[in-house]
Amino acid sequence: MTLRFTIPSAVLLCLLTQPAAADVLLIESIHTAPINSEEGVPRPTRSMTMDQVERRFGQPTNAHPSVGEPPITRWDYSNYSVFFEYEHVLTSVLHR
């Protein structure tokens, strides 16, 4: 009795004998990010208006023009950026 290998079965055999590889998520970097509080980096929260942000956090160091529809605007501060949809905060993102 002869054993015949076809090309697909030979490729499958090669793949099954290779060591498995995977990427590693760095979960600790998520847990060490400063929180949005006085202990972390205070920054605007969702749904604040542009006027509220400006009154509480001051003038941004850079205000980018609106882009797209709905208009998305970005204000940069020293430690974070704030993203607005129309006049309301969508999110604020810490600079790394």
Digit-coded pLDDT (tens) for 21-31: 666 665 665 55
d(CA 56, CA 42): 10
Identify the pLDDT of residue 25. 62
Mean pLDDT, the chain, integer: 81
User: Regarding beta strands 80-85 and 72-76, do their DSSP bridges make them parallel or antiparallel, or are they unpaired?
Assistant: antiparallel
Q: How confident is the model at residue 59 (pLDDT cuts 50, 70, 90)?
A: very high
- pTM equals 0.62
Phi, psi (degrees; rounded to nearest 5) at 49: -85, 165
Phi, psi (degrees; rounded to nearest 5) at 73: -120, 145
